[in-house]
Amino acid sequence: MLEAFSGPKRTSWGDRLSRPMRIVVGVSGSIAAYKTPMIIRLLRAAGHEVKVVATQAALQFIGAPTLAAVSGYPVSTGVFDDPAAIEHVAVGEWADLVLIAPASADLLARIAAGRADDLLTATVLTTSAPVVVAPAMHTQMWLNPATVENVDTLRRRGLVVITPDSGPLTSSDHGVGRLPEPDRIVHEALATVTGQEETAARLADLPLKGRRVVVSAGGTREPIDPVRYIGNRSSGRQGVALAVAAHRLGADVTLVSANIGAEVLALLPAAVEIVPVGTSRELEDAVRSATAKADVVVMAAAVADFRPVKQADSKIKKHRLGGSDSPGGMRIELIENPDILAGLIARPPRTDGTRTFVVGFAAETGDENGDVLAHGTAKARRKGADLLAVNAVGKQLGFGDVPNALVILDSQGEEVAKASGTKDEVADALMELVAERLAAR
């Protein structure tokens, strides 16, 4: 049987990995251990070096001489086989991949519990290599809630658990729990490494990798009294989409969130830091503090231009609203809020010599003095941000879960790009442009 796999012939899955790897094959107590030598032969035939670590129970099913012969190394079992060599650490460090096949229900439980009572469990605890586990057991054991939970735990921690096949088990039993055939196990184990290496390479290549991006989003609320406020219709959707886009391009992202609903914030990956704020002054403090370490700040928040001069400590009663000099009416005296964006340019919070790239948003409607673009161009020159994304807002445009169209201008008011589509699509386009501009500086 083994002869079928002998010889130096490279398998298709072996070819996918350019470098030969050092692989620890773990074996635990299951009748399926009779398949392990074939797995080892396949790995070696694909050019990889293999060391076997077996549990004591495994050796009830398969002899150490067999495993040693096919791997070319003595078989290790206990943590104290050679205490001077601190093998439990050394084997884990040696490995580029740990593949455990078969993994018994007991072994899954011990790994899930973080135990280190033999060399195999200790190796799993000490290795930084990917760990692939191929369980084999009776159907009842596989389906038992304890095993189900243990498998969930391992997967949550990033171990790859290959789902067992369904088919003949020991004696006359039949069902799920059968160790998959050696070629499938080898294929999945090697594909795991390839996949993880590709992911790592992709992440290292991302254009905003290592950059810190701050996005302000949502709309500020300026209290009139503890119940009422002056606010705006911004949902925060566009800003959240920008935070997601920046994260996707590899940035470390902080979202300063002004009154954004939980259903919108739920779109953010867990890695995005959220700083909740209410008023424009809170937003200013949070944005300036986060921008002190940022490479990019995107002001997508709709900041109230004015706030009430006075905020009542208790709810203003209706009969007090008007006052004798304005029966039926009410006056709220307003004061202008600071322009946070302008402040970021005039007084940059980052003081270590690195200039933060500043992006503003301008939601515009046309009026008798000019169309959306004319207002946008004037604003781009006035504000001086590196980029200003101008979008038209109105009844069907701009606010909430609706498509968006942006014209992106530079600090001179010159058109740099246009982007239209969903809020996610325009966010991707804008963040890619930011990454390009940043790289070109």
Catalytic residues, by residue number, are 232
Q: Smallest gap, in angstroms, from Cβ of residue 371 to ligand C5P?
A: 15
Would you tell me how many other CB atoms lie within 10 Å of the CB of residue 165?
Answer: 15
Output 130 or 360, the one with its CB closest to ligand C5P. 360
- In whole angstroms, the minimum distance from the beta carbon of 342 to ligand C5P comes to 7
Kindly indicate which of the ranges 191-199, 251-259, 268-276, 338-346 contains the residues binding ligand C5P, using the contact rule CB under 6 A: 338-346
Q: Would you say 40 or 380 has its CB closer to ligand C5P?
A: 380
* Least distance to ligand C5P, CB of residue 303, Å: 4
Listed in order, strand segments (DSSP E) in 162-221 are: 165-168, 174-178, 212-218
Number of CB atoms found within 10 A of residue 341's CB: 24
The binding track of 342-381 with respect to ligand C5P, each residue x by CB under 6 A or -, is ------------------xxx-------------------
Beta bridge partners of 274: 255
Tell which one of 96, 222, 295, 339 touches ligand C5P (CB under 6 A): 339
Supply the DSSP symbol for 404. E
Least distance (Å) between residue 156 CB and ligand C5P: 39
> According to CB under 6 A, which one of 213, 341, 387, 392 is a site residue for ligand C5P?
341
Site for ligand C5P in 375-434 (CB under 6 A): none
Q: Which is nearer to ligand C5P, 23 or 358 (CB)?
A: 358
> Which residue do the tokens 């004037």 mark?
378
Question: Rounded to 5 degrees, what are φ and ψ at 180?
Answer: -60, 160
Other CB atoms within 10 A of residue 36 CB: 31
**404-410 vs 387-392, strand pairing mode:** antiparallel
Amino acid at position 324, single letter: S
Nearer to ligand C5P, 106 or 305 (CB): 305
| Residues in region 277-336 near ligand C5P by CB under 6 A | 280, 299, 301, 303, 305
Which CB sits closer to ligand C5P, 123 or 291? 291
**CB atoms < 10 A from the CB of 228, how many?**
16
Task: Centre a 10 Å sphere on the Cβ of residue 247 and count the other Cβ atoms it contains.
Answer: 22
- Nearer of residues 98 and 299 to ligand C5P, judged by Cβ: 299
Per-residue tokens: 285: 């403090």
Report which of 149, 40, 62 is spatially closest to residue 105, judged by C-alpha positions: 149
Residue 147: which region, alpha, beta or left (left: phi > 0; alpha: psi -120 to 50)?
Answer: alpha
In angstroms, the Cα distances linking 42 to 21, 178, 194 are 13, 19, 17
The residue written with tokens 């009139």 in the block is 224
Considering only CA atoms, which of 374, 384, 313 is closest in space to residue 344?
Answer: 384
Alpha-carbon distance of 349 to 346, in angstroms, equals: 10
Smallest gap from Cβ 229 to ligand C5P, in A, equals 16
Site for ligand C5P contains 337 (CB under 6 A): yes
Least separation in angstroms between CB 408 and ligand C5P: 13
Q: Specify the residue, 70 or 372, whose C-beta has the smaller distance to ligand C5P.
A: 372
| Closer by beta carbon to ligand C5P, 104 or else 280 | 280
Find the binding residues for ligand C5P in span 181-200 (CB under 6 A): none
Question: Is residue 359 within 8 Å of residue 385, measured between CB atoms?
Answer: yes
Minimum distance from CB of 330 to ligand C5P (Å)? 24
The contact mask relative to ligand C5P for 244-283 (x = CB under 6 A, - = no) is: ------------------------------------x---
User: Could you tell me how many residues of this chain bind ligand C5P (CB under 6 A)?
Assistant: 12
C-alpha dihedral, 6 to 9 to 11 to 15, nearest 10°? 140
Min dist CB 390 to ligand C5P, Å, is 9
8-state DSSP, 441 = -
Residues binding ligand C5P (CB under 6 A)? 280, 299, 301, 303, 305, 337, 339-341, 360-362
